[in-house]
């Protein structure tokens, strides 16, 4: 009975580890999963394995994951969704929330893909955050490393003028000759204030 | 990570790990020494000893350990693991004197435990302090 309960709990924690939104949380769920596995080994009369599993599975491996996680940087790109770009085809806002179709269109657009590839080459993970605040407010928020906004057909990229990575990004876009679609605007945080 | 940030690490973690440290050493050696008649043994106790390096990294993440020297110690014990059975088992000493069997197993567990402890510890520390192949990222 306890065995079945432990197995079910292990399944639950495995599913939680896969589906949790934060990687840090997944690591902790995996540690709990490992501890339950150690408990199960004890129930199945394998205490030697239980010790090894408890020490390595929930001790050393968890720390290795956390150390690896500390190293991975996530680059947050804020996308300003202004209500004046509502078209008949794509509804941007739907009852105060950004619609899935709009988010998908932005995520699949060539410029965003190129920005992603640029950061992946530099071993940065990127995440898009869709904002419902005005551009000025988004620029002031230090949580967003890069702010995107749509201006008609063009995509406007607001970049910090002190960040030299953005100079490289601009150069990449110039080399690929897709500047017509993407505009770069450099700003200093003090000037916005 | 700068020096001031390290000193700013949570005092709770520092105190708790400091208090647990001697007990971790004790548990590691207990598991190793009693390995031949209770659950545990060289590998399990060695992994407990390896967590000592990890605990130190959690509290004080500064790369000041000479991992090359730790690696050398680990290789020395690996050599002893090969040499001791060759000297005691294949010459027939242990089989001739049954009283030596217990001490022989304890000695082997101890050698394996220390080798595994240093090995896993060095592996974890090298991974944690690995800086990439000569590159740093600044934004």
pLDDT band at B135 (very low <50, low <70, confident <90, very high): very low
For A137-156, the DSSP string reads HHHH-TT-SEEEEEETTEEE
A67 and A128 both lie in a single domain = no
A54 and A87 both lie in a single domain = no
A82 and A172 both lie in a single domain = yes
Task: Tell me whether B30 touches chain A (CB under 8 Å).
Answer: no
The domain total for chain A is: 2
Kindly report, residue by residue over B16-35, the tens digit of the pLDDT.
Answer: 888 999 999 999 999 999 88
Q: Which residue of B has its CA nearest to A145?
A: B139
- Could you tell me what percentage of chain B is helix, strand and coil, using 3-state DSSP and rounding each to the nearest 5? 75, 0, 25
A61 and A78 both lie in a single domain = no
Kindly report, residue by residue over A157-193, the tens digit of the pLDDT.
Answer: 887 777 777 777 777 777 776 555 677 777 776 665 5
Most confident of A78-82, B55-59, B114-118: B114-118
* Pick from B43, B127, B137: CB nearest A64: B127
Pairwise CB contact (< 8 Å): B127 & A67: yes
Which of A97, A99, A81 is CA-nearest to residue A89?
A: A99
Distance from CA of A65 to the nearest CA of B (A): 10
A60 and A79 both lie in a single domain = no
Break chain B into its structural domains and give their ranges: 3-129
**In this predicted structure, what is the pLDDT of residue B77?**
93
Pairwise CB contact (< 8 Å): B128 & A64: yes
**In this predicted structure, what is the pLDDT of residue B60?**
77
Domain boundary among A23, A48, A71: A71
Domain boundary among A30, A47, A71: A71
- Mutation site, A51, A56, A125, A142, interface B, largest B CB count within 10 A: A51
Domain boundary among A46, A71, A96: A71
Q: Where are the alpha helices (DSSP H) in chain A?
A: 2-19, 23-43, 47-52, 61-71, 100-108, 110-121, 135-140, 164-175, 189-192
A138 and A149 both lie in a single domain = yes
Contact B51, B60 (CB under 8 A): no
- pLDDT, mean of residues A102-130: 77
**In this predicted structure, what is the pLDDT of residue B29?**
92
A107 and A28 both lie in a single domain = no
- Mutation site, B39, B54, B121, B137, interface A, largest A CB count within 10 A: B39
Q: Tell me the residue range of the domain where A83 lies.
A: 73-192
A112 and A49 both lie in a single domain = no
A44 and A65 both lie in a single domain = yes
Tokens representing residue A166 in the block = 């953005």
* Pick from B44, B50, B58: CB nearest A51: B44
Kindly report, residue by residue over A130-146, the tens digit of the pLDDT.
Answer: 877 777 777 777 777 78
A96 and A121 both lie in a single domain = yes
A53 and A111 both lie in a single domain = no
In this prediction the pTM is 0.61
A115 and A174 both lie in a single domain = yes
């Amino acid at each position: 009975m306890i065995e079945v309960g432990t197995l079910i709990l292990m399944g639950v924690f495995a599913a939680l580890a896969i589906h949790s939104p934060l990687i840090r949380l997944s690591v902790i769920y995996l540690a709990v999963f490992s501890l339950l596995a150690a408990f199960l080994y004890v129930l199945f009369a394998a205490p030697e394995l239980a010790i090894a599993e408890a020490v390595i599975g929930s001790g050393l491996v968890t720390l290795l994951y956390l150390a690896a996680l500390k190293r991975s940087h996530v680059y947050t790109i804020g996308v300003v969704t202004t209500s004046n770009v509502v078209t008949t085809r794509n509804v941007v806002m739907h009852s105060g929330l950004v619609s899935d179709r709009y988010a998908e269109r932005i995520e699949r657009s060539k410029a965003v893909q190129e920005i992603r590839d640029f950061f992946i080459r530099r071993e940065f993970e990127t995440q898009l955050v869709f904002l419902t605040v005005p551009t000025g407010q988004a620029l002031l928020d230090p949580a967003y490393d890069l702010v995107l906004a749509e201006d008609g057909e063009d995509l406007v990229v607001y970049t910090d003028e002190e960040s030299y990575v953005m100079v490289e990004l601009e150069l990449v876009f110039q080399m690929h000759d897709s500047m017509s679609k993407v505009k770069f605007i450099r700003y200093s945080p003090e000037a916005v204030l | 990570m700068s020096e001031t940030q390290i000193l700013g690490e949570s005092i709770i973690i520092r105190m708790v790990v400091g208090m647990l440290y001697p007990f971790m050493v004790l548990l590691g050696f207990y598991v190793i020494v009693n390995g031949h008649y209770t659950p545990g043994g060289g590998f399990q106790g060695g992994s407990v000893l390896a967590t000592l390096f990890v605990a130190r990294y959690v509290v004080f993440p500064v790369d000041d350990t000479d991992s090359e020297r730790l690696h050398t110690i680990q290789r020395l014990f690996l050599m002893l693991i090969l040499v001791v059975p060759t000297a005691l088992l294949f010459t027939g000493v242990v089989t001739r004197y049954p009283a030596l069997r217990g001490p022989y197993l304890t000695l082997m567990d101890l050698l394996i435990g220390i080798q595994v402890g240093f090995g896993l510890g060095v592996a974890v520390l090298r991974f944690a302090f690995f800086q990439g192949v000569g590159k740093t990222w600044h934004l």
